[in-house]
Amino acid sequence: MQGDFRKSMGEYQVKGHSDFLRKIVKIPSLSGQEEAVARAVKLEMEKLGYDKIITSGGNVCGIRGKGKVKILYDAHMDVVEPGNEWETDPYGAVEKDGFLYGRGACDDKGSISAMVYGAAAADVTGVTLYVLASVREEVSEGNGLKDFFQRSDIKPDFIIIGEPSRLMVARGNRGRLGVRIDVKGRSSHASRPQDGENAIYRAMKIAERIKKINKKTSGDTVSVTKIETPNKNINVIPEMCSIYCDYRSAPGRTEEEILDKFHSFIEERDKIKVIKKYFKPWSLEEKHPLISAGMKCRREILGEAPSIIWIFCTNGTYTAGELGIPTMGFGPGEERQCHSAGEKVELKQLDDAVKFFSGLPAFIRREAENK
């Protein structure tokens, strides 16, 4: 059976990856509840004949080869809540018109399936290939991966993050910062609003200023995602209103630069609090050996395509942004499908991703040897 998985690229026609994807999409796996999917991943790796499989902190890692060049594939098992607007069962793994529908089909179980099967078919001459199905990415990018590295002695030279990229090489992702702005007002009885200063009205003006950041700062976006007051009664003019913001930053942007933007249009009486730590943006140049290997692999196996910078955060925020390990991204599916009702992945893209992941280790090894 293993021989069937490890034929030359021209003969590689295995279809088990789509069946595996259906299986794991049918298993709910919210952050912190990934155990059942982890068991399914481990069983699939055993079936495919991985040399070794380890589990740690909820993560599952399959290993192939014992070569000098160490490559780690990572894709996360957890998903977000499906919501209520689906036309199909979000855990039904329904196939229609060449797409597989279901929560996690695109983000991120399509990449898990493609990596597990692609690595099983890969030529691992001269490399050690790790395939990691990681936990808790949706709630804290990098923390599940960080826990895995702290518990193991694995030190990869290169890391490939599996996330939807439309089958294009991703050479970086934007950063993220969560902030809360506490806007001050002055309370009074609602029947005499002129005696107070409505903090909600002040917050609305600040929200309009925040909206303009999107037009003024290239590569960055910011969204007001929640507004609230501590008021318990509706007959009181609120003296406080809090605005919650999700800021996405281009590579090269610092936390200080972002906070300065907010400070430029609030008054001294208002306060800014960082409520979600800054996940640093990261990027590699196209001439970097890892990106060069990815682009050559993409060109030879699937044809020419440009590289991209992901607009969202990934586990690469930790591997590249904090550890400094050369990191690249690739995966089946479109970014807009992430967290959406009716989430889907094209099965043709899944097939192509398997081919890419099976060929990539040889390209990385050659680039590493030629450095």
Every domain of the chain and the residues it spans:
2-173+281-369, 175-279
Class of domain 175-279: alpha beta
Question: What per-residue string of b and e applies to 149-185 under the rule 16 or more CB within 10 Å gives b?
Answer: beeeebebbbbbbbbbbbbbbbbbbbbbbbbbbbbbb
Residue indicated by tokens 């992941």: 357
pTM of structure: 0.89
Instruction: pLDDT band for 15, please (50, 70, 90 cuts).
Output: low
Q: Phi/psi of residue 323, each to 5°?
A: -85, -25
Distance CA 322, CA 171 (A): 16
Distance CA 159, CA 13 (A): 26
Question: What is the rounded average pLDDT for all residues in the chain?
Answer: 93
Distance CA 157, CA 163 (A): 20
Choose among 338, 290, 329, 280: nearest CA to 142: 280
CATH superfamily placement of domain 2-173+281-369: Zn peptidases (3.40.630.10)
Q: What is the pLDDT of residues 107-142, one digit of tens each?
A: 999 999 999 999 999 999 999 999 999 999 998 877
CA distances (Å), origin 313, targets 176, 247, 280, 345, 354:
7, 11, 9, 20, 23
Q: Taking residues 274-283, report their average pLDDT.
A: 90
Please determine whether the domains at 2-173+281-369 and 175-279 fall in the same fold group of CATH. no
Q: What is the pLDDT of residues 208-221, one digit of tens each?
A: 999 988 877 778 99
Distance CA 134, CA 148 (A): 8
Contact indicator for 121, 14 with CB cutoff of 8 Å: yes
Q: Taking residues 297-321, report their average pLDDT.
A: 94
